[in-house]
Amino acid sequence: MADILNQLLGIADGSPLAELRAQRPEATTHMEGSYRALFVNESKTTVTRSERFAVALRVASLHAEPVLVERYAAGVGSPELAASVRAGPAASGLSPRLKAMLTHADLLVIRPAAATSDDLLRLKANGLSDPEVVTVSQVIAFLSFQLRVFAALALLRGDDRKAPGRQIGPRDPVTEGFTRDELSWAPWIEPPTVEQTTDEQKAVLPGRRLESPYFRLLSLDPPVLGERTATDMGIFYTHGGLPRAERELSATAASRVNGCVYCASVHSRQAATISKRVDDVQRLLDVGIGAKLDDRWRALVDLAAALTTTPTSATQTHVQKLRDLGLNDLELLDAMQSAAFFNWANRLMLTLGEPVRP
């Protein structure tokens, strides 16, 4: 089976864009692995394949990406159901269970920082088990990442993507309380305890991740968590390309736009420690995306912020500013995949639990 993003973008083997992606083999391979774990392989939870495609179709529709809309519509089951899904959770012909999933998709895409524990209770009231809630959340969050990598690769190919006429999100983000302090995180669904985790779950909870309630919760769908973790490592922990501090800066900028205090705390701390530019990082947290920065960091933050809007508003203008500052294609890919990944991470952190201050 061809890599899904190569297939959707028409990236031919041996082309410059294929060769660029091959320079980040771990990220590229496990991005594809995440797609397959969610939509192709036999599932570890009981969310049906049709339901997964329906939720993905709704997310793609909200992002106004025609190629991905067509792809996910094909897996829903019927043109009539696909039309209802695209219309949204208020459309006729949807089961209460699917309506609940689509309502949750709208929340995570448009207003992720507004989620509360009651939103998970509504899913459970419509028959979703805890593992199913995790899988549906992963579908929505993964699509939020995949759509942005799709846009990033199109920009790197030179496509003239226009900024959308109307942005629908993120709406109502948190704008205060950002910190570099170390925070805890409390889940709204009870994760398995360390003693309750299975061997399959332990296999995707290496090192200290076994101690984390967040990762133990995500281990309710082990194959998806395994591929997600490997994707994360392939984006942030590779040699060459964009300096690690600036990958962390892109993650911080995306988290600041989405209003994810927890993710921003972790990655701003990394960015500040590695770059030693503590004041600049703190200003980004305190003031927001418009904070005063030097030209290079200004352009990186602007690109990450534009990728994070829904629909994404990143254009060749954002890319060209960084090219003019000397960034090459691998560095640009690292910057955009770092920002894109935190549109996955933020949506899980914001909607499955909440940060806890010391």
pLDDT digits (tens, 9 = 90+) for 269-285: 999 999 999 999 999 99
pLDDT-derived band at 358, boundaries 50, 70, 90: confident
Q: Read off the pLDDT of each residue in 92-106 and give the average, rounded to a whole number.
A: 97
Return the ∠ at Cα 166 (arms to 150 and 311), rounded to 5°.
20
pLDDT digits (tens, 9 = 90+) for 315-331: 999 999 999 999 999 99
At 115, which helix (H) or strand (E)? none
pLDDT-derived band at 85, boundaries 50, 70, 90: very high
pLDDT-derived band at 166, boundaries 50, 70, 90: very high
Cite the DSSP H helix spans in the chain. Answer: 4-9, 16-22, 25-39, 49-62, 66-73, 79-87, 96-110, 117-125, 130-157, 199-203, 213-218, 222-236, 244-258, 261-275, 278-287, 295-308, 316-324, 329-352
Model confidence, pTM:
0.98
pLDDT digits (tens, 9 = 90+) for 19-74: 999 999 999 999 999 999 999 999 999 999 999 999 999 999 999 999 999 999 99
Task: Evaluate if residue 7 carries a pLDDT over 90.
Answer: yes
Q: Read off the pLDDT of each residue in 96-113 and give the average, rounded to a whole number.
A: 98
| 1-358 CATH | 1.20.1290.10
Half-sphere exposure for 199 (CA within 13 Å, toward CB)? 0
Task: Evaluate if residue 144 carries a pLDDT over 80.
Answer: yes
Which residues, including other chains, have CB under 8 Å from residue 255's CB and lie 6 or more apart? 263, 264, 267, 342, 345, 346
pLDDT digits (tens, 9 = 90+) for 201-258: 999 999 999 999 999 999 999 999 999 999 999 999 999 999 999 999 999 999 999 9
Rg (CA), the chain: 19
Q: Is the dihedral of CA 221, 215, 111, 338 positive or negative?
A: negative
Neighbours of 75 (CB within 10 A): 16
pLDDT-derived band at 151, boundaries 50, 70, 90: very high
Query: In whole angstroms, what is the distance from residue 10 CA to residue 19 CA?
Result: 14
Helices 222-236, 130-157: crossing angle, 10 deg rounding: 30
Tell me 10's DSSP state: T
Neighbours of 208 (CB within 10 A): 8
Contact (CB, 8 A) for 182 and 262: no
Residue listed under structure tokens 């998806």: 224
Each domain of the chain, given as residue ranges in start order, spans 1-358
Query: In whole angstroms, what is the distance from residue 290 CA to residue 283 CA?
Result: 9
Instruction: Write down the mean pLDDT value for the chain.
Output: 97
Query: In whole angstroms, what is the distance from residue 311 CA to residue 305 CA?
Result: 12
